[in-house]
Structure 1
Amino acid sequence: MYSPNKNNLADNQPYKIYEIKKTNQESIPGYLVVSTAKLNVETEEENSSRNLTQITHREFFNTNRGEAEFSTENMIKKITKNLESSSEPEIIINIHGYSSTPSDTEIGCRNIYDYINTNIQQPNKYVFIGYRWPSENPVQTDESGSFIQKVINSFSSLPILLAINLGLGLTISILSTISLLFFNFYKNINISIFTISLILSGIVSSTIFTLILLRLSTYFRDIYRASNYGVIDLIELLRQLDYNVKLPPHKRIKLSFIGHSMGCFVVTNVIRILSDIFDVKSINKKPDSDIGNVFRLGRLVLVAADIPVESILPGRANFLRSSLRRCEEAYVFCNEGDLALRFTSTAANYFSFPARTRISGYRLGNITVKHFNNKKDSVGHIPRYGVINLVKQDYEQACRFDNPYKYLEIRSSNSEHRSLQEISQISEQEIQPADLFSYFDCTDYKDERSKQVGIVSCAIKKPAINFGDYIFLTWAFIQKSINSRDPQGVDTHTGYFEGNFSQKAIYELAFLGFDSFLESLLIEGEETEKIQAFSEKCQEKQIQVILSPQLYQQKAQE
């Protein structure tokens, strides 16, 4: 059996580790792990002898000491020591999404680090790791060059056949246009041949230009990097820790994740690979949370998840079902109006995702609480907020939660919507993948930071966001992109990390778990039941919540 060692690590160097500067001696230890894979394969060799990573915000990290002290091997030892010295060790890993720049990752990593050290403050328990895989921003200057250089590269890297077709198409289009105008003006002869040539050449040219635009979007290039660099390099980090950490019997390191956008794709694939398919408990479909020698899967928080909605449906096509059972708690933060997922991701995945209908091609980050009774219903009901699947027969009985799959749907308008029960045949005789998650539908979410509009949409409180509403939402998104402080602007994809309540929920669910998160919401002396107080808080914020009965039935009865 292959065992990692320091020579393997030094030779391959799949990542570099930077320590986050502590705010005080009692701070939770934090690290930034950066994959050394390059954006373009051609630059791998010419940069092999250089420092393969560059920290933009050096004031966040300890980078000014000796190179030997901050070698990957020594940083692994440092993380190992932190874990071994803890009585209840936990690692929380945050993973960014598509088109994230190094600066975005570093600032996001530091924001989480500052939040947990201000609000959680348990330095002897947690180790925080921000993980950066090689993502490329379409417009900003990076290893691929400026935007102009990226456009030039897109044309110069065209396969010969496509380049020839593009050249011929443009030439024929120009000649046909000139001939069409010339003969139409002077000769008045039959010009159908020129019209047909112009149409055909236009189709060929526009098709190739579409491929160039898809390349310039960097979406598929990021998918490749996430699959072949992001996933593999993170697994290598965990493998090194699993090999180096020495714990007494029956002691495990809880491993939790926060994934955003395409980072959710990285997270879920890492969990799939970490799950031991030869484990007897997995074969019997009763897997526990233990993986490897020292790890135990803890909490999984998916924010604006850029993965198929298929991941919560039953059936052979769901490739995550068995591995997700291993997580102790799992959450989805979603939004009907997420423009990046609704349009960009859905359009890009149209070419690759094996779906027969448009509704099946939507992403998990667009899943919503059901507002329509059936697919023919075009009216729908006004959203109600709080914990939607909370059931109480009378006041003397404890809380009970109905199955989440009954309350979920995918929709894009009043006329296009399907509940999970309409998309797939679901049996009540067994646990459904959708029931393993708890859902925070933030479509109408408002809080102190955005009183005029919503945090991740315009918060119009309608059964569905329709065409006209999407126009206004797109304009609000553009306003936010131009001026991040515009009170009318809306960040539909990453706004979750800006809202006070949503930020608290994401970070504290990942670090503390649901029960401790509820305790943090209670006012001293208040006698209201935990779940009821939580539901009232969500009603105030206009968030719809569906809780997993598999995880919280016992908590609600306590």
Structure 2
Amino acid sequence: MNSCDNQNLPDNQPYKIYEFKKTNQEKIPGYLVVSTAKLNVETEEQNSNRYLSSVANKKLFNINDGQVEPSTQDMIEKIAKTLESSPEPEIIINIHGYSSTPSDTETGCKKIYEYINTAIQQPNKYIFLGYRWPSENPIKTDESGSFGQKLINALSSLPTLLAINLALGLTISIWSAIALLFLNILSNSAVHFFTAMLILSGIVSATIFTLIILRLSTYFRDTYRATNYGVTDLVELIRQLDYTVKLPRNKRIKLSFISHSMGCFVVTDVIRILSDVFDVKSINKKPDSDIGNVFRLGRLVLVAPDIPVESILPGRANFLRSSLRRCEEAYIFCNEGDLALRFTSTAANYFSFPARTRISGYRLGNITVKHFNNKNDSVGHTPRYGVVNLHKQDYGKGYRLDNPYKYLEIRSSSSEHRKLEEITKMSEESVQPADLFTYFDCTDYKDDRIDQIGIVSSAIQKPAINFGNYILLTLAFIRKSINNRDPQGIDTHTGYFGGGFSQKAIYELAFLGFQGFLESLSIEGDELEQISVFSQRCQEKQIQVILAPQIYQQKTQR
């Protein structure tokens, strides 16, 4: 352990830690780590309890009236002691996505906490940490107030030049419209003049209103918070644990992550920072997983990642390649019909992402198993479910696993699709970033629902989702948003956590790894038989899986 003054938390504590209440059944301890960063910089007094919903905090956490809460340093030391006493210590951190309310975060983390203590129950090994970074919901009431207050704030905070232009634009538009509608004595030249003024003022007003709508969506505000608060505060938490935990030289704490949507941006940036750029190992072709004094990067599970597709492409633009190599296992849960990523996120990032073409601007959560031979193919082929890149060798000599990048494409319709090989130059001479992940394409995923409606999409089992299909899917998404229990509704962005098989896969891959997940499915036999049965299970659920080579190699080398 390094001895230095930085072991103590700074006076301005970047986070607070709350422990989940335990009953006699819980074997795995759980905590909620809450960033103390404010939603708005004008908030005068920090009050970290504001992040905990007034109803849930006393029910979910060890917070009692009239008692002094343990300090953050005390909680750090408590977690450290648990890790020190474990023969194989592991920390699994869950990170929420965009527009998550405090109640959403608490409920989601509590769901994982209860699941692992029911399904896994391995005492003295795991510690679960739910992490909340400051995120703002555009509609629900939070620290920024109600939607009405947020609208007032958006108007009152307009820069002076924009406010003047908006006022002038609206005034000119109104008077021009009145003149054209009610003044019949206008000459032709006057009509042309007022028409031109109406069009120009309308363009100015519409542009400024667009900026106001973008602010009210809170997407860019959340992106700023994720970058400047979420990432840095989580790095500080891990740094403090790294300084506090005392372990023998030959013992390491495995650090794994579950993240959703914009939370995937947070975790990938955290991993990037944790991979010390001054460490020679970080630039090796095969760096090890050790980071800091006591940690080792374990498993990374990205669910509907709201990050660029470039993160799995080769080239200078890929800023994650070296850091992702350090993870022992990495998984992506994706869906062609994810409307939040397909339309909302892509439209928002249109203003900021440096892409020349539309297809390069799509998000990683929309990556799919390829159904088309090339960009000119307009017919494609129907999906083949199960593990699609595992093939029997000729003459009965076992199996071979093709590189994942050969099986991936980005598509938005039958007329717009590109294989990864068509987007950028990729070769078999070196490991491609895309080959570091195992992919679960859940576009046609169905679970144990009687109505057989897809979990995260319409499950139409066609080569691509086209315009008409997107309209029906949007209606199903709206129904789900209005009534969460509507059997005809579909949650295209967070439905992964509602499906029985997908939820089990997300949680248990993070805690147990691929081999442990197979064992939890009660799959028996040798390594190849296990993968074969696993493929059959995925076929039944209509999930397409692309296995990472390192996953297969780990199993066959056991």
Q: Which residue of 2 aligns with 1:8?
A: 9
Once residues 141 and 281 of structure 1 are traced to their aligned partners in structure 2, the CA distance between those partners, rounded to angstroms, is: 47
Distance 1:522 1:530 in 2: 9
Distance 1:49 1:150 in 2: 20
Structure 1's 206 and 165: CA in aligned 2 closer, same or farther, altered over 3 A?
Answer: same
SS in 1 for 2:46: coil
Deviation, 1:516, is 1.1
Q: Secondary structure at the match of 1:12?
A: coil
After superposition, give the CA deviation of every residue in 1:415-464 in whole Å (9 maximum; x if it has no partner).
00011001111121100000000000000000014643100001000100
Q: Name 1:22's counterpart in structure 2.
A: 22
Partner of 1:189: 188
**In the aligned structure 1, how far is the partner of 2:235 from the partner of 2:410?**
32
Aligned amino acid, residue 253 of structure 1:
I
Which stretch shifts more, 345-354 or 281-290? 281-290
Q: With the length of structure 2 as denominator, give the TM-score of the two structures.
A: 0.96
Letter of the structure 2 residue corresponding to residue 518 of structure 1: L
Q: Distance in 2 between matches of 1:451 and 1:49?
A: 46
Alpha-carbon distance in 2 for matches of 1:395, 1:84: 51
* Cα deviation code 1:343-374 (max 9, x no counterpart): 11000000000000000000000000000111
Q: Give the direction of change, closer, same or farther, for the CA distance of 1:351–1:290 in structure 2 (3 Å limit).
A: same
Counterpart position of 2:154 = 154
Per the alignment, in what secondary structure is the counterpart of residue 513 of structure 1? helix
Give, in angstroms, the shift of residue 188 of structure 1: 5.0
1:157-556 pair list within 5 angstroms: 157-183=157-183, 185-187=184-186, 189-190=188-189, 191-394=191-394, 396-449=396-449, 451-523=451-523, 529-556=529-556
* Counterpart Cα distance in 2 of 1:527 and 1:229: 43
Between 524-533 and 444-453, the greater mean CA deviation after superposition: 524-533
> Structure 2 stretches of 5 or more lacking a match?
none
Is the 1:335–1:366 contact (alpha carbons within 8 Å) kept by the matching residues of 2?
A: yes
Whether the aligned pair in 2 keeps the contact of 1:457 and 1:490 (CA below 8 Å) is yes
Listed one character per residue, the Cα deviations across residues 84-107 of structure 1 (whole Å, up to 9, x for unaligned) are 000000000000000000000000
Residues 4, 243 of structure 1: 8 Å contact kept:
no
**Corresponding residue SS for 2:188:** coil
- 1:276 touches 1:291 (CA, 8 Å); kept in 2? yes
- How far did residue 553 of structure 1 move? 2.3
Given the superposition, is the C-alpha separation of residues 342 and 4 from structure 1 closer, same or farther in structure 2, using an over 3 Å criterion? farther
**Stretch moving more, 310-319 or 20-29:** 20-29
Cα deviation code 1:226-281 (max 9, x no counterpart)? 00000000011101100000001110000000010000000000000000111122
Between 1:218-227 and 1:188-197, the stretch displaced more is: 188-197
CA contact (8 A) 1:400 1:553 kept: no
Report the Cα offset of residue 8 of structure 1: 3.5
Letter in 1 for 2:114: D
Q: Which of residues 30, 46, 49 is equivalent to 1:48?
A: 46
The total of aligned residue pairs comes to 554
Give the CA deviation at 1:288.
Answer: 0.6
Alpha-carbon deviation of 1:541? 0.1
1:89-133 Cα distance to aligned partner (Å, 9 max, x none): 000000000000000000000000010001000121000000000
Rounded to whole Å, the distance in 1 between the matches of 2:436 and 2:523 is 29
User: Cα offset for 1:550?
Assistant: 2.5
The percent identity for this pair of structures is 77
Is the contact between residue 311 and residue 320 of structure 2 (CA under 8 Å) also seen in structure 1? yes
Deviation at 1:519, TM superposition (A): 1.5
Cα shift at 1:395? 7.5
- Taking structure 1 as the reference length, the TM-score comes to 0.96
- Are the counterparts in 1 of residues 441 and 544 from structure 2 also a CA contact under 8 Å? yes
The verdict on how the C-alpha distance between 1:241 and 1:335 changes in structure 2, with shifts beyond 3 A counting, is same
Q: Following the alignment from structure 1 to structure 2, what is the Cα–Cα distance between the partners of residues 122 and 156?
A: 54
Distance change in 2, residues 1:75/1:478 (3 Å): same
3-state SS in 1 of match to 2:273: helix
Q: Give the superposition deviation at 1:282.
A: 2.1
**Which whole-Å CA distance do the structure 2 matches of 1:49 and 1:103 have between them?**
16
- How far apart are the structure 2 equivalents of 1:332 and 1:402? 18
Please state whether the residue corresponding to 1:409 is helix, strand or coil.
strand
Question: 1:353·1:361 contact (CA, 8 Å) conserved in 2?
Answer: yes
Query: 1: distance between equivalents of 2:175 and 2:158?
Result: 23
Computed over aligned residues only, the root mean square deviation of the Cα atoms, in angstroms, reads 1.8
**Counterpart position of 1:80:** 80
**Cα 1:55/1:7, change in 2 over 3 Å:** farther
Paired with 2:500 and 2:395, the residues of 1 have a C-alpha distance of 32
1:100-139 matched pairs, under 5 angstroms: 100-139=100-139
Measure the CA separation in 1 of the matches of 2:18 and 2:7: 18
Q: Is the 8 A contact 2:436 2:548 kept in 1?
A: yes
8 Å CA contact 1:30, 1:129 repeated in 2: yes
**Is contact 2:300–2:510 with CA below 8 Å preserved after alignment?**
yes
